Amino acid sequence: MTPAVRNLFTAPLPDGEGEVFQQLLEGACFRMESITSRGTPSDEGFWYDQAESEWVMLLRGEACLSFEDDGAMNLRAGDYLLIPPHRKHRVEHASNDAVWLALHFRGNDLKSDNP
């Protein structure tokens, strides 16, 4: 059977506002998703505090991530980073066309050029 080809940039999104999370792939120790921000920041005072590591890449658009007690980081298309477990972070702003690829995974034996 030939694998199905899909496209993150042309897939229809549900109507409405806010971020759209679409699970792309899941395994025993990981979950991959696309996130379409549609210009939506995290709710005021909300911080992501995840038990898993998260490798995230901004595929399209621009965004700004903040880390609790550590300031903000501006991102543009192609930028990626590794967020360790329980590293509190939030989206301060994102462009209307911002699309992310996020890989959530367990495990501490990571090697990355991005400490």
| pLDDT, tens digit only, all 115 positions of the chain | 999 998 988 888 878 778 899 999 999 999 999 999 989 899 999 999 999 999 999 999 999 999 998 899 999 999 999 999 999 999 999 999 999 999 999 876 556 665 5
Backbone angles phi, psi at 12, to 5 degrees: -65, 140
Q: For residue 3, what pLDDT is reported?
A: 93
**pTM for the structure as a whole:** 0.86
As a whole number of Å, the CA-based R_g of the chain is 14
Domains belonging to the chain, first-starting first, are: 20-105 (2.60.120.10)
Q: For residue 10, what pLDDT is reported?
A: 85
> C-alpha distances in angstroms, 85 versus 21, 27, 56, 96?
20, 18, 13, 28
Q: For residue 115, what pLDDT is reported?
A: 54
- Strands (E) in the chain, as ranges, are 20-26, 30-36, 53-60, 62-67, 71-76, 80-83, 89-94, 99-105
